Structure 1
Amino acid sequence: MSSKKVSVQIMNPGLLEEDCLVLGEALVKRWRIPTNYPLQLTFGSFKQKVRVLSLSKYTGLRLSQGLARKMGIVSKPTLHLSYQSGSGLRLGPLIGVLISRDDPDLPDKPFGSITMFCREMVHAGQKQGAYVYFFTPSHIGSSSSKVNGWIYGEGWHQAEMPAADVFYNRLTSRKLENKPSVQHFMKEVKSRYGSHFFNEKFLDKTEVFDALKADPSLLKYLPESHLFRNFAMLKGMCSRYPVVFLKPTRGSLGKGIIRISRNPEGSYQTLATQVGGTRRQNYENLTKLFASLSGKMKTTRYQIQQGLNLIDLSGRPVDFRALVQKNGTGAWEITSIVARTAGTHHFVSNLARGGTLSTVKEAMAKTHFPADIKAKAAVRLKKAALDLADGIDQHIHAHFGELGIDLAMDTSGRIWLIEVNSKPSKNDNTPLAMGKIRPSVRRMLDYASYLSSS
């Protein structure tokens, strides 16, 4: 299949018949495209018969305004054009990004804190020859072939868009993701149009740890971890470890985590995350502690996990967040890895709870490890993240293109998995120069382009 990037020009009404498009004469001859002959044009799920007209000394693609409107194309995008004898012409890839909410009354920032990320995706698509639109669950209608999405061209606009070649799920709510309309749409576009849908679901902690336990090569990264069921499990874990954690299986941002530790005299203490710090409580014995938890267990499922003796900086725990993404060949790569240090009065490192960021090198420099362990830390953390991402692919039946993998290092230098997040944050918390595109956004477009051609 022949392919190249072309600049798309939309013609004013009356200058070009709706079912015609114009290509440069040199390209028509090189690809041996028949002219004035019905060919199929494909753009996502959109298909229409068109006739190709050739124009000397021209290198772009001209569309009639009517045809462009049917395709949802505005402005002057740069898109990949491909041709295959027998199949016709194809424009794209067309990429749809499913987001949680929009606000049409805020035209400059319709997607709130992720608006800048959405603009970046549009600009990255323009540079890489892809067309990107955004939609929410409320935009999904009765037909899976069309979506009333948001596009960018001299400002944000809503337009009726075809189903995309590739969909990227950025929903931040399990409730929205589990809506019957969303689940039906995902199933329909995959089966009807061969669309790819990645990061198609949230992960919960029990699912991740139970799946990875099945791989002997990954056990070295896994603290003992179980779905918390009863008093016997609490008693057993507290007898084996001086500290254990209870974590909501579907929690995020460090919410609802409970740290349980045994005091020297045999009583127990809990620290629970809450706004502004932690709540400390003491219990004479495990029976009373378990009784205090029984109410929470009726509404929240917890994972009980081995506590680790982690490295810290001045008493503040440190962990590491690796952003792992698939690249233009479909392989996992490390896009970034940072150290996160817990805020004062917190035992979790999430930025939402006062945590701070630094490089791995900066964080390791403040530890008491020998020089060789400090020097190898970043490489070892990256290997662990890639091993675990491969494990997720092999043992969890869902399609992921990016993962946030939280790792920790104990005082002996051993690396452990804390959790895996299938919806890493895209909030606007890093100022960027106008037009600058982060590596994470470029890689996302690379992977989407790879999927559309596979």
Structure 2
Amino acid sequence: MAKKYKIEFFDESAPILYTPSTLALPKNINKAAFGSKIVRAKIEPHPNGRTVFAASTGLANELHMPAFLTDIHCFQSNHMLLLGPLVGIFTSGFTPFETRPAGARSNMFAKLLSAQSAAGVVPFLFGEKHIDWEQGFINGFFYGKGGWESRTVPFPNAIYDRLPNRKSEKLKNSREVKEKLEKEYFIPWYNPGFFNKLEIHEQLFQDVWASRYLPETHPLTSFHQIERMLADYGMVYIKPMNGSLGLGVHQILYDRASGAYFCRYRNTCNRLLKFGRLETLMNHVFSKKQWDRLIVQQGIFLITDNGRPVDFRIHTNKDEEGNWHVTAVAAKVAGPGSPTTHIKNGGEVKTLDEIAENEEQRKNYRDVLSEAALELARAIDEHIDGIIAEIGFDLGIGTDGKVWLFEANSKPGRSIFSNPSLKECDLLTRKMSLSFAVYLTERQVEAPGEMFP
């Protein structure tokens, strides 16, 4: 397993790399690499017996290695020592302003890149317009103590996909960049693609362990289908197949005593409408052309906090060895009259301490949610194409104690970290989303054929 080391720089024009005294290397190592750039160099143990790397400015310049680096990993391959890993974070929506290169998302990316020292990687932000295909370089954006700065670096060892939405993901240029870097340059690209709710449900339904967490879910096809599910469950949710952030989610309830149908949803504000017939409700709220983009899902009567339904956001990440971990657990309490627990709909983020009555209940919540999230993460990882390194799950606990999966998010939002009590989890999730690149780089160095047969 690769180990993290400190790195320093000294003024010398010749390409020299001093290695930590504790690092045993063959004497025939004569090349240093950073990203895709490889140069010949004098490589020998640190003359002062120190346990850090020391690179000459000459070597750093030839490798296009930023001299502000403090922590890195190293990987040995034949006669070469690779320093890094260099991690490209691919996104879109760049602006011409270097102080805010990604517009409103610049602060989010600044926080992500600030985890570089803890992760021991070298992350930078880039888009398709920043690539110089002829020279094999990228004009990327780095973030440090002085703020944002652009630097020219080699092609990275791994790429973390942070495209903001499905629209940007479907653009021809975005697809071409991904395909070219993966297939022609053999660079592992992780967390590609937004999940399709129905596809995830169908894949997990085939898994004997994961399927027990699934509420009944179908493409929306008929009034009869909704009537049957309302008769079975008393409540259903109708939501977009490719939706996110709680947009377009409608809660449909049937009151047997009055024979009335209720629809709760958000349209600038939380709304509740009452209808005498289901057909009237559906025709009023949905247009027929929407139907092929909607799913209908079994409603679950959830545990509550002061009478308001609660569900949970569970973050899972892979570590430097490729193993799944639960990195954050937060409760989300629905806003008054809201069909979802999203903050924009009036929802509130709370910790388990704030909603559990005692330590035993808190431990039970954490245990059952963590077990479900890890089982679901492994199942999705097995059944869905691509390299997946993080998943955010929206899970619920029914009034009977059963755990249910509502949604799996390949690019989970970070709104739960607005709760100050989740600051450590915020840092951990950012660190692990970067440090997974260590695992990918190590695999590439040791057995590149396994990843790209």
Q: How does the TM-score come out when normalised to structure 1?
A: 0.85
Q: CA deviation at 1:82?
A: 3.8
User: 2:424 and 2:404 mapped to 1: Cα distance?
Assistant: 38
User: 1:383 and 1:73 mapped to 2: Cα distance?
Assistant: 41
User: 1:261 and 1:387 mapped to 2: Cα distance?
Assistant: 31
User: 1:58 and 1:282 mapped to 2: Cα distance?
Assistant: 78
**Percent sequence identity over aligned pairs:** 26
- Give the conservation status (yes or no) of the 8 Å contact 2:17–2:59: no
Q: Deviation per CA, 1:405-438: give whole Å up to 9, x if none.
A: 0111111111111111111124684679999981
SS in 2 for 1:61: strand
Report the equivalent of 1:402.
390
Report the equivalent of 1:452.
441
SS in 1 for 2:209: helix
- Give the conservation status (yes or no) of the 8 Å contact 1:34–1:52: no
Q: Which of 246, 260, 264 matches 1:267?
A: 260
Q: Deviation per CA, 1:110-140: give whole Å up to 9, x if none.
A: 4455545534444432244321111134434
Report the equivalent of 1:155.
147
Matched, 1:77 2:65: no
Report the equivalent of 1:130.
121
Q: Deviation per CA, 1:209-248: give whole Å up to 9, x if none.
A: 1111111222321110011133343333233332111011
| Unmatched tracts of structure 2, length 5 or more | 444-453
Residue identity opposite 2:345 in structure 1: R
Residue identity opposite 1:126 in structure 2: S
Residue identity opposite 1:255 in structure 2: L
- Give the conservation status (yes or no) of the 8 Å contact 1:21–1:50: yes
User: 1:150 and 1:433 mapped to 2: Cα distance?
Assistant: 28
- Give the conservation status (yes or no) of the 8 Å contact 1:41–1:91: yes
| Unmatched tracts of structure 1, length 5 or more | none
User: 1:372 and 1:64 mapped to 2: Cα distance?
Assistant: 57
User: 2:425 and 2:207 mapped to 1: Cα distance?
Assistant: 40
Q: Mark the CA change 1:387 to 1:363 in structure 2 (over 3 Å): closer, same or farther.
A: same
Q: CA deviation at 1:6?
A: 4.3
SS in 1 for 2:314: strand
SS in 2 for 1:31: coil
Q: How does the TM-score come out when normalised to structure 2?
A: 0.85
Report the equivalent of 1:9.
9
User: 1:2 and 1:218 mapped to 2: Cα distance?
Assistant: 33
Q: Which of 3, 16, 21 matches 2:16?
A: 21
Matched, 1:56 2:53: no
Q: Which of 33, 44, 51 matches 2:27?
A: 33
User: 1:180 and 1:446 mapped to 2: Cα distance?
Assistant: 29
Matched, 1:44 2:35: yes
More displaced 10-residue stretch of structure 1: 176-185 or 196-205: 176-185
Q: Which of 409, 424, 427 matches 1:438?
A: 427
User: 2:422 and 2:295 mapped to 1: Cα distance?
Assistant: 42
Residue identity opposite 1:438 in structure 2: L
SS in 2 for 1:310: coil
Aligned length: 438
Q: Deviation per CA, 1:29-55: give whole Å up to 9, x if none.
A: x524358xxx43322222333444777
SS in 1 for 2:339: coil
Q: Mark the CA change 1:244 to 1:93 in structure 2 (over 3 Å): closer, same or farther.
A: same
Q: Mark the CA change 1:375 to 1:56 in structure 2 (over 3 Å): closer, same or farther.
A: closer
Report the equivalent of 1:208.
200
User: 1:412 and 1:435 mapped to 2: Cα distance?
Assistant: 32
Report the equivalent of 2:450.
none
Q: Deviation per CA, 1:249-278: give whole Å up to 9, x if none.
A: 111111111111123332322112222322
Q: Deviation per CA, 1:430-453: give whole Å up to 9, x if none.
A: 679999981112222332212211
- CA RMSD in angstroms comes to 3.2
Q: CA deviation at 1:194?
A: 3.0
